[in-house]
Homo-oligomer: A and B are copies of this chain.
Amino acid sequence: MRLAIAAAAAAFLTFPVHADDLAPEAREHARALAQAALESDLAYEITESLTTEIGPRLAGTPQEARARDWAVEMLTGLGFENVRVEDFPMDLWTRGHSIFEEVAITHPFPQELYATSLGGAAATPEGGIEAEIVFFESFDDLLAFDGAEDALEGKLVFVNDRMTAGRSGEGYGWANRKRTQGWVEAENRGALGLLIRSVGTSSHRFAHTGMMSFPAQRLPDIPALAVSAPDADQIERIHAMGETIRVALRTHSGWRGEVTSGNVIAEITGSEAPGEIVIIGAHLDSWDTGTGALDDGAGVGIVAAAARLILEAGERPRRTIRIVLFGAEEVGLVGARAYASARMQDGTVGQHIIGSESDFGARPVWRLSSGVGEHAVGFFDAMQQEMAFLGIERGGNSSGGGPDMIPLAAMGVPMARLDQDGTDYFEFHHTPNDTFDKIVPDEMAQNVAAWAMFTWLVADSDVDFRARPEPEAQDAAEGEPAP
């Protein structure tokens, strides 16, 4: 199977190879690391431990704090150096009651709906709301709605956009606009609340949660919920009958004040250039409805296991490898911003030679993308050649490195990404179904093999990956998914 994948990948190869960019000893060591990774269950075991012993770990909650304790113990136990937590403040939002909100159609056909609040939403008034739905086939229709400023006054806005599945999650950004921006459009027009068809591609009854966006720090005064796809179908069917639809809802979510979260950091100190940092990341927090196995327990397992294999092999890389397990990613990259801000303060942003994050599930890596200076593209071409036996193709050179890398990338830190197959990622993402049983051990081992190769090759190199080109339109086509 893997050989077939590798052969297929080779057949489609169209990038030039600059074999000279990788030192023979580095190649050989990287290959040995990959072989060791393919025989190791360490990443799988780390993710099993996190999801079993901690489980859901919403940003800012005691569960996320327990996850930090767990991470410190795990990283220390694996033999990493300089294991530490960098705290940061954040505003806590919680659901308040249950992940299943009280939502029901009251007219014309009374029926309970399966729905869940979107992150950041306000609660309904204590007795709840009962109002008519105004049906929008798409978010664009809502944007284009030019009724009077109070045209939706006293109504509930429903937005019906569907997401399409794709290997790079390319349908997510588009479908997600209603989740992130819908509330502003609804609230500006006087609506009592926002209901959206669940983002994601599944046909199960769990609605996809996720944080909303807050322009200029404005927070919503209205409730905002996603209803599951089959329940959105129900609304759509009744709407198609020409009936007026009324919905009752009662929610308890809201902002709970400032709390402390943190990023957990660990290192393998470089042998020759310890001040040069290769940063590999994942995020420790998860949504509260699942156990955050794919998002992002898998990433935690993958980067920690890859680094541990390097440690285990005994040979120290030239540069320092820094693992960062970010806090509070799901609620707006709060940990990533805090990390970048702290590095601005201590003046070490420039020491970050390259970065990457694993945060797209646990399916096989199928592509190596880079975001490096033009002179270093050949280095990545050669790296992909080394990875071809894992079924990995070469991507473009405008990768942003992953969600938690965004603040560093914005400061000019070079980036790379080991793109995972996300075709079914949004079947589970941000729902209760994001659980450990969805992970396939062999697929996870393939990830670790790719990560161990990448991490070793960039950390043991003396290539400066900086002088990054301006981001291009290609960015969108390569589908860097939002958090």
Contacts and interface: CB of A to CB of B under 8 A. Distances in A.
A475 interface: no
A111 interface: yes
Given A52-B109, A55-B111, A205 B435 contact: yes
B203 A206 contact: no
A203 B437 contact: yes
B230 A435 contact: yes
Interface stretch (A22-30, A214-222, A231-239): A231-239
A53 B205 contact: no
A433 interface: yes
A112 B54 CA distance: 11
Contacts of A112: 56
Interface string A361-379: 0000000000000000000
Nearest to A290: B205
Interface string A234-253: 10011000000000000000
A247 to B, nearest CB: 14
A204 B206 CA distance: 9
A48 interface: yes
Contact of A54 (B53, B109, B432): B109
Given A55-B111, A109-B52, A233 B436 contact: yes
B432 A114 contact: yes
Contact of A233 (B53, B55, B437): B437
Given A55-B109, A111-B56, A111-B291, A230 B100 contact: no
A113 to B, nearest CB: 10
A46 to B, nearest CB: 14
A229 interface: yes
Interface string A52-70: 1111100000000000000
A289 to B, nearest CB: 9
A393 B120 CA distance: 56
A98 interface: yes
Contacts of A437: 203, 229-230, 233
B438 A203 contact: yes
A433 B56 contact: no
A433 B207 CA distance: 12
Contacts of A98: 98, 100
Contacts of A55: 109-111, 234
Contact of A52 (B100, B237, B291, B438): B237
A438 B204 CA distance: 10
A246 to B, nearest CB: 15
B204 A204 contact: yes
A253 B237 CA distance: 32
Contact of A433 (B52, B204, B290): B204
A205 B99 CA distance: 13
A436 B234 CA distance: 9
A299 to B, nearest CB: 19
Contacts of A114: 432
A53 B109 contact: yes
Contacts of A431: 205
Nearest to A238: B52
A98 B204 CA distance: 18
A234 B203 contact: no
Interface string A103-125: 00000011110100000000000
B238 A433 contact: no
Contacts of A52: 109, 234, 237-238
Given A100-B98, A205-B206, A233 B109 contact: no
Interface in A342-398: none
Contacts of A234: 52, 55, 291, 436
A433 B205 contact: yes
A473 to B, nearest CB: 36
B233 A435 contact: yes
A458 to B, nearest CB: 35
A83 B155 CA distance: 42
Contacts of A109: 52-55
A237 B230 CA distance: 32
The 9 closest A-B pairs by CB, nearest first: A230-B435, A205-B432, A55-B111, A53-B109, A52-B237, A230-B437, A204-B433, A204-B204, A205-B433
Given A52-B237, A55-B111, A229-B437, 5 more contacts: A53-B109, A114-B432, A203-B438, A205-B433, A237-B436
9 contacts: A53-B109, A56-B112, A98-B98, A203-B438, A204-B206, A204-B432, A206-B206, A230-B436, A233-B436
